[in-house]
Amino acid sequence: MTESETAALNEVPLKVTHPQRIPSKRYYDQEFFELEREHLWPHVWQLACRLEEIPEVGDYVEYTNLAKSVIVVRTKTGVKAFHNACRHRGVQLVMEPGNCKSTGFICPFHGWRWNMDGDNTFIYGKRIFDEVNLEQAELNLVPCRVELWGGCAFINHDNDAASLLDSLGPITARMDARNVENLKMEGWWAVELPTNWKLAMEAFMEGYHVMRTHPQLYQSLTTDKIGYFGADAGGNLLPEASNEEYLGKTVAQMGKLHRGMGGMVLPGEIAIAERLLKEEWPDDIATVGKAFYRRIKEEVYAEGQAKGLPVPDLNAVEAEHQLHSVEYFFPHYFLLPYFAGMSGYRIRPLTPETCLFELWSLAFLPDDAPRIAAPTVLPHDSPEIPEIPRQDYGNLPRQQLGLHATGFEYMRLSHQMEGMISNYQRLIDGFLAKLDTQKLAKAQNAVNDGFNRPVADIGF
């Protein structure tokens, strides 16, 4: 790292100076929040919409983050994005989803119009304006950078930032192998949390909290004789558990994840597992779990292919790409894969101590499946929210309040299990220090990783 980069980092207020200690004021300080508004969010790739929200030519959505509003529209030549402001006096052109194929975008104030490609097509009373205010290039909508990946449109306000794929890094290969671009929404919820956006992200970055916060998951994988033996799809066993007991708990765990995560495990996958319980299984307690999961994945793939759905060969995928329980896309999006389905989360800051938290249930669906056009908006303590995130939502407002306590100056992180929090926070410092875009992209490649990761070297 150069001297100038070191100096720039040292100028960042509330900088992370020890990778295992995160200053508490980063989660509520107004000055720090304004630095994020100015130096982080305008320079990162943000998930603006899922492409299934705009399936037809002319379909558009409006995406807002920290008062910056963007229109994302599907045109005849592809997806485009424009800053959402009339070129006359700045009125926002759209405030909700719609289709502009026949009408274009019409300003509700004075009736100026633009087509879906952002070209100005009408000015009411054009003769009353001086020529200096009628330059066509200045009348067209201002484009916003947009790139596509994973069935989503991402926008970036910085034309000099590294490309989307260069910023995401190797994580795209892992997700591409799982055909993530073909997943569709089965459910979509949105809540406003009285919580800083970073706290909301960090609640899902480690499994250390599962024992206390999600006892139903912990207990489903324990007995009187044995301890916690893992919720991943690897099938790891302890010798005290019988085959029958372990496989029964595995299926029970799948059911808890389906109900608790709003669809991360799909009903058809649970039905497959229940059917496979009736098969003959090896007596070797150390390998039966892996064999069981392998058979489930074989059947999920076979059933998907029989239905004409783009379900990948999960065993082949995981032979090449290690399964991560959570996959993070800096700064505000993550996916939770299990078998064919996934959960997806997107978080946006509202104020220093509030955020908008959205959840998707994603699956491979037939083309004629009903389309979800908007999220179901709920209070953060609503019983309609899937159980597992609702349990996290119970902790987060209390954590936000606790960070203000006298004497609580910083979080103390586990180097081994809570390192993702440190990696994220130090990358934020890199943006606030305005480091070189390629250095930031390389750091994002290191940060976009899986669950329960240790503190990593991100290059600065």
216-232: per-residue pLDDT in tens? 886 554 443 333 333 34
Predicted confidence (pLDDT) per residue in 22-48, tens digit = 999 999 999 999 999 999 999 999 999
| Segments in the chain below pLDDT 70 | 218-241, 285
Please tell me the predicted confidence (pLDDT) of residue 263.
Answer: 79
pLDDT of residue 229: 38
**Where exactly does CATH 3.90.380 map onto the chain?**
1-42+172-460
CATH number, domain 47-149: 2.102.10.10
Extract the tokens encoding 210. Answer: 């599962």
Q: To 5 degrees, how large is the angle CA 67–CA 421–CA 255?
A: 95
DSSP reduced 3-state for 203: coil
CA dihedral over 396, 401, 406, 410, signed as positive or negative: positive
Closest residue by Cα to residue 398 from 218, 262, 205, 213: 213
Distances from the Cα of 201 to the Cα of 108, 134, 250, 346, angstroms: 37, 46, 27, 9
pLDDT for residue 133: 95
| Gyration radius of the chain's alpha carbons | 24
CA–CA distance, 88 with 409 (Å, rounded to integer): 48
Q: Which CATH number fits domain 1-42+172-460: 3.40.50, 3.30.2420, 3.90.380, 2.60.120?
A: 3.90.380
Distances from the Cα of 3 to the Cαs of 8, 128, 281, 435, 440, in angstroms? 9, 56, 62, 12, 17
Query: Residue 1's pLDDT is what?
Result: 85
**CATH 2.102.10.10 segments of the chain:** 47-149
Q: What pLDDT is attached to residue 235?
A: 43
Strand, coil or helix: 220: coil
